[in-house]
Chains A and B, each alone.
Chain A
Amino acid sequence: MGRGRRPAGTYWRLDPDLVARRARRLRVERLYSWGLGLLAWSVVGLIAAILGVIVWQGAPAISLEFLTQPPREGMRSGGIYPAIVGTLYLVGFTIAVALPLGVGGAVYLTEYARPGRLTRLIRLAIVNLAGVPSVVYGLFGLGLFVIFLGLGTSILAGSLTLALLILPVVITTAEEAIRAVPRSLREASLALGATRWQTVREVVLPSATPGILTGIILGMARAAGETAPILFTVAAFFLPRLPVSIFDQVMALPYHLFVVSTQIPNMPVELQYGTALVLVGLVTGLNLLAAAVRARYRRARRV
């Protein structure tokens, strides 16, 4: 009661200086809020513009034939079917390689590795891998897989290269997801007499699955959209048939887009944009899927 009692009346008598300062602060506050809002919306606007142009220009090209037929007449007509299939193959095999490697690495780092110089080194390597330009991956893939291991330009070489590219994303997101599993769940499992591996398999990974999936899907989107890594390792300039083994070359959407946009004279613009639309649609679709998985995960995780 006795604390900080004010003399009667002073509470409401406001200092004019204070009033002025407050008013100024409020104006500055509004300015910042408005300015930052503008910046944020301009990003949205930019994306909308890009997507708008692509959809506007590319939509007329989209047809059943475009999606299911190989290119004809020096790629100036026909479809992009082999490129779509090639990209799907590449993404599929990339995930097949990156998933076990990435999740395994994440499990090792979170559950087994004792904190020390080695784990710090591994983390540093992962961070740096994420920063390497993708064309370097392409050259590395060419050197290691195509030439040194003798895999030739093939789905296998391309997928391995892409897997290396997305490995940092997969490991980082998987690690985060695994770390987000409450320690008390691990302890509960261990206290019941489960081994470390049983705990990882039965408790940690199931709980982390949605988060890991998010990382995988983001990795897929990245793999689907990259051009440089596949340039020297798998992509075919023009190959109007489907591959029969993993040692075959394939066409791929990003490279095909590069080819039709820059390498072919008198190329109909709508085919270029059509190809871009399919690629962007695929990548955006995968990103949306990742967002949906995350959202469902958040809803499902009741506390």
Chain B
Amino acid sequence: MADKIRVRGLSVYYGELQALRRVTTSIADRAVTALIGPSGCGKTTFLRSLNRLIDLIPNTRVEGQIFLDDVDVYSPGVDVVDLRRRVGMVFQTPNPFPKSIFDNVAYGPRIHGLSNQRRLEEVVEQSLRRAALWDEVKDKLRHSALDLSGGQQQRLVIARALAVEPDVLLMDEPTSALDPISAGRIEELITELKAEYPIVIVTHNMQQAARIADWTGFFLHGELVEFAETERLFTAPKEPRTEAYLTGRYG
């Protein structure tokens, strides 16, 4: 399978603290890549360096390269706004804007200059359908997004990300704030979406990674300890530190 993203020797420093240590890996196209590891291991930093959201944190320094389709996203000529349009992100807690369902999904297209109402309606419907939410909200698009349940909000947020037609989807623990049923729905959705997108998901839930990911990377102390096919990583990890973490003998 073709690699959508190639990461080469990526190190990230928050001031004096080194959050990532020379991470080198590749993210496959049209597949789910899960990142696991204990809290503070660098997996979220890795995710947020892919769309340069870590730029928002003062005193951050990045070394190494991240190639998205052969363009280094940290090279000087790169337009961060365009990069972030191409790399969609879903966060840990559902964070719809305090606007209507329609305006939430239309937000991205609008800021990127789409103002034709008919076209907007098409995009909104299509995105909501792809996020498996359309049937539940088609009659109340003008209602506040905050009236939706947590699981619906998370699917809305996914629809919002899909509306700008990204090349990659990043998800930062997308189900950790949801009940098991809603989480299951999101997992199903992720499995469907991988037919179209490469998806990178950070999760604390190893079973979730085992269920939905094709590839899994294990981070520890800012280091990518092991990266392998999910099945292999969870049944027969090669690195003793992965083994120790997976069997709960870590630390």
Direct A–B contact in complex, judged by CB atoms less than 8 Å apart: yes
Residues A190 and B84 in contact, CB atoms below 8 Å apart: yes
- Give the nearest-CB partner of B108 in chain A: A192
Residues B95 and A206 in contact, CB atoms below 8 Å apart: no
Count of interface residues, chain A, beta-carbon cutoff 8 Å: 21
Q: Which of B103-133 contact A (CB under 8 A)?
A: 107-108, 111-112
Q: Which of chain A's residues have a CB closer than 8 A to the CB of B157?
A: 188
Q: Which of B56, B81, B93, B97 contacts A193 (CB 8 A)?
A: B81
Q: Which of chain B's residues have a CB closer than 8 A to the CB of A190?
A: 53, 56, 84
Judge whether B51 is part of the interface by a CB distance below 8 angstroms. Answer: yes
Q: Which of A114, A191, A195, A301 contacts B89 (CB 8 A)?
A: A191
- Give CA–CA (A302, B107) in the complex, Å: 21
Q: Which of chain B's residues have a CB closer than 8 A to the CB of A182?
A: 95
Secondary structure at chain B's binding surface: helix, strand, loop or mixed? helix
Judge whether B85 is part of the interface by a CB distance below 8 angstroms. Answer: yes
Residues A192 and B107 in contact, CB atoms below 8 Å apart: yes
Residues A192 and B161 in contact, CB atoms below 8 Å apart: yes
Judge whether B77 is part of the interface by a CB distance below 8 angstroms. Answer: no
- Give the nearest-CB partner of A207 in chain B: B98
Judge whether A198 is part of the interface by a CB distance below 8 angstroms. Answer: yes
Judge whether A194 is part of the interface by a CB distance below 8 angstroms. Answer: yes
Q: Which of B56, B85, B146 contacts A192 (CB 8 A)?
A: B85
Q: Which of chain B's residues have a CB closer than 8 A to the CB of A207?
A: 97-98
Residues B93 and A184 in contact, CB atoms below 8 Å apart: yes
Count of interface residues, chain B, beta-carbon cutoff 8 Å: 29
Residues A206 and B160 in contact, CB atoms below 8 Å apart: no
Q: Shortest beta-carbon distance, A296 to chain B, in Å?
A: 14
Between B53, B111, B112, the greatest number of chain A beta carbons within 10 A of the residue's beta carbon is seen for B111
Residues B58 and A114 in contact, CB atoms below 8 Å apart: yes
Q: Which of A187, A192, A195, A198 contacts B160 (CB 8 A)?
A: A192
A192/B93 contact (C-beta < 8 A), A115-B58, A198-B111, A207-B98 known = no
- Give the nearest-CB partner of A302 in chain B: B146
Q: Which of B51, B91, B95, B107 contacts A202 (CB 8 A)?
A: B107
Residues B81 and A188 in contact, CB atoms below 8 Å apart: no
Judge whether A189 is part of the interface by a CB distance below 8 angstroms. Answer: yes
Judge whether A203 is part of the interface by a CB distance below 8 angstroms. Answer: yes
Judge whether A185 is part of the interface by a CB distance below 8 angstroms. Answer: yes
- Give the nearest-CB partner of A203 in chain B: B97
What 0/1 readout, one digit per residue, does chain B (54-98) give for beta carbons within 8 Å of chain A?
001010000000000000000000000111111111010101011
- Give the nearest-CB partner of A194 in chain B: B111
- Give CA–CA (A187, B87) in the complex, Å: 13
- Give CA–CA (A182, B96) in the complex, Å: 11
Residues A193 and B164 in contact, CB atoms below 8 Å apart: yes
Between B51, B95, B157, B160, the greatest number of chain A beta carbons within 10 A of the residue's beta carbon is seen for B95
- Give CA–CA (A203, B107) in the complex, Å: 10
Q: List the 7 closest pairs (A to B, CB-CB), nearest first.
A: A193-B85, A191-B89, A184-B95, A192-B108, A193-B84, A194-B111, A188-B95
Q: Which residues of B contact A (CB under 8 A)?
A: 51, 53, 56, 58, 81-89, 91, 93, 95, 97-99, 107-108, 111-112, 146-147, 157, 160-161, 164
Interchain Cβ contacts under 8 Å between A and B, 25 examples? A115-B58, A182-B95, A184-B91, A184-B95, A187-B53, A187-B56, A188-B89, A188-B95, A189-B97, A190-B84, A191-B84, A192-B85, A192-B108, A192-B160, A192-B161, A192-B164, A193-B82, A193-B84, A193-B112, A194-B81, A194-B108, A198-B111, A206-B98, A207-B98, A302-B147
- Known A190-B84, A192-B85, A202-B97; further 6 A-B contacts with Cβ < 8 A: A187-B56, A187-B91, A191-B89, A193-B83, A193-B86, A207-B97
